[in-house]
Amino acid sequence: MPQIHDLRDTIIPRSDQLNSEQLLGGPMIITVTDVRVGGGEEQPVSIFHDTYPDRPYKPCKTMRKVLILAWGPDGTKWIGKSMELYNDPSVKFGGEAVGGIRIRALSDIPKDIKVSLTATKGRKALHEIGLLRQSPELVKTLAAIGAATDKATLQKARTLAEALTAAHDITLARAAYAKKVDELKAKGTKPTAPVIPTEDEDEALAVSAEQVEQHIRGATTTDILDMAREQIAAVEDEAVRMRLTELADQRQAELTAEA
């Protein structure tokens, strides 16, 4: 049942795709779950998403150009990324302004995008796409996931992910975590449990002094640095542990100075 604080579900038209009328009440953030090709010349691409799984977003040619420019031509690499959609009332069809779905912001781009694309024959229009801002909680979680190298640090990241409340944030955290597990598998490292914990726990992943040092030097927050400090205890050589502890203290001082 639709919640009283968001009645947009009550105006959803009967359709097999996301419709601009669903955005009359405001913009919508979706996270890509799948990309498929087919459906005719006018709408050859269907972008499935977490918000309305049975109503894919079928971008127009102009928005497809924007997505390819921003995320590249490989649709499989769009999965897990997010976009903010809105209803642009100036979009015309048959000479009349009927409104249409446009992209306002995208995740996974280095900076805002400004590009002139053909609107009608002989005329171009400027499209400005912003960077989709992430909540501080999600930023912290993604940083922890990205820096994780063993079970201990992945457990820390998982704890942060479990504290997320926004569905959009949870989806992004899951995607980032799955990517990290794939990276560990590619390196021959045994992955740990998923973001949502299971009853079975894997054994601790081995960690080398080189990995710990890399983790310390790459720490961008004190939380990540604390994870690295916990890894130091797993290093067998006492002299190396002392050196890594000194390095962590030095990085701590640098982070404090940067704050």
**CB–CB of 216/247 below 8 Å?**
yes
**Full-prediction pTM beyond 0.75?**
no
Helix locations, the chain, DSSP H? 61-71, 136-147, 151-162, 167-186, 209-218, 222-232, 238-258
For the cut 80, the answer to whether the pLDDT of residue 112 exceeds it is: yes
Q: Does some domain include residue 10?
A: no
Alpha-carbon separation of residue 220 from 4, 153, 162, 234, 247 (angstroms) = 41, 15, 21, 22, 14
**Count of structural domains, the chain:** 3
Q: Does residue 73 sit within a domain?
A: yes
For residue 14, the model assigns a pLDDT of: 59
Residue 60 has pLDDT above 80, yes or no: yes
Q: Are residues 141 and 186 in the same domain?
A: yes
pLDDT tens for 127-150 read 889 988 777 888 888 888 888 887
Separation CA 151–CA 251 (nearest Å) = 23
Quote the domain boundaries for residue 257: 207-259
